[in-house]
Structure 1
Amino acid sequence: MDAKTGFVTQIGMEYEEAFEIADDLGFDYVELMMDGATERQHLDSDAVRVRAEECDIGLAVHLPFALDIGSPFEHVREGAIREVRAAVETASAFGANKGVLHASSRAWKPAWDVETVGSNILQSVREIDEFAADLGFEICVENIPSGWFSIHDFDRIFDETDASMTLDTGHARIDGLDSGGMASFVGEHSDRISHFHLNDTRLAKDEHLPFGAGTIDFRDIFAALPDDWGGTLSLEVFTLEYGYIETSKTYLDKLL
């Protein structure tokens, strides 16, 4: 397997330091969270690109979390799509070529049926994916637990869009898949899974533990990938202590 490894930045991390530490620890890239202090309007694309080049680090991004690309309200949906596209442009300008997208909606479920909101989400994903493809940028839709498209509903995204997938292991666990179930899913859809959020957990909760501290059997999941799989593996650990990132990287390298 020719996978590249990285980690997702967290609220409170300075990207300059994150890039330097990623280089020191032997990561291939950093997945920069484009929300909060590192939202596109707070970033200088030239400065981000130069710092990444200085540290010899590649870049991916997590696109803004809470933009409602499936809203049943036309202007809300259009505004969300415009904002995602602007974030993709910014990410592409500083050298990222892959971005994680939440294909979700905050629509009030008692008032709106699944087909209406789901169709809006799918159409928005297609529009964003086509826009990104023109920039040489890959959109990777993440499975969101208990959302409009959980991991159990992902066949529609595979069937009705050309976007890739980000498989979040903790989210899959919340939606009822154990390690064997995740491995089966990976074996069936490895051609569309381009990116992972390695979210370790002990329970069916979004714990984001240091990698290896939970009970997910990543050996089985990785074994389900083809030998020539060349995607990206992001450690998603909720911590500001880089020692936990280092420990996670050591264990990940061991498994790989």
Structure 2
Amino acid sequence: MTTSGERLQKVIAQSGITSRRKAEQLIIDGNVKVNGKVVTELGTKVTGDDNVEVNGFPLEKEASVYYMLYKPRGVISSVKDDKGRKVVIDLMEGVSERVFPVGRLDYDTSGIILLTNDGDFANLLMHPKHGVEKVYVAKIKGIPDKRELGRLKRGVKDEKDLLKAANYNVLSTDKKKNTMIIELTLQEGKNRHVRRMMEQLGYPVMKLKRERYGTLTLDGLKPGKYRPLSPKEIKQIRNSALKL
């Protein structure tokens, strides 16, 4: 057992033997062992190195899988939605493993999102200290000057968060329509990061797309489609998180 990894009830549910709610009850009732010891705490976390038994039977470990999806706008970055809206899992036809999204993209944001059943991989990429680069292209209302754009790298306060970009690049401006298209590189990913940052500057985002995640790009992938990551791509993005 470890302080990192995935919650035990989530691992049990992802194995496909029961729902997460029923997995929680199995734990509470003392029907789950980790490395030979009964565990009744719901907050317990396990990794792929831990041996989990449910009702005396070892939990079969799914082979780890890794996918990249081109998420369209109007899709929720979740396994399910209580309002019945389309979620990213609905687009993963043909995938039998119980995958989940690595982080989130807003409902109205398109672009790269990764899905996996490997909790350690997901935690590695999402942990703020690793600073995996994500590149977004935003169409904004208004045309900020260089001084205002400079604030992006220094940081913009919104509530308790300091929102900033590691870098930016102006791709085009349209004075007639009073719009700008700007590329933003982030090394962190707070909730609605780009939208909140630009709103605080007074230039609301009209359209937003994540075009790069670490070493991965959308090249060759159409909206709503997905593909498995190659072993080389998995290694590269792991290394980018570990700064190897």
Task: Tell whether the structures are fold-level matches, with TM greater than 0.5.
Answer: no
Q: Which of the two has greater helix per residue? A: 1
Q: Which structure has more strand as a fraction of its residues?
A: 2
Bin the TM-score by the shorter chain.
under 0.3
TM (norm. structure 2) is 0.26
Higher Rg: 2
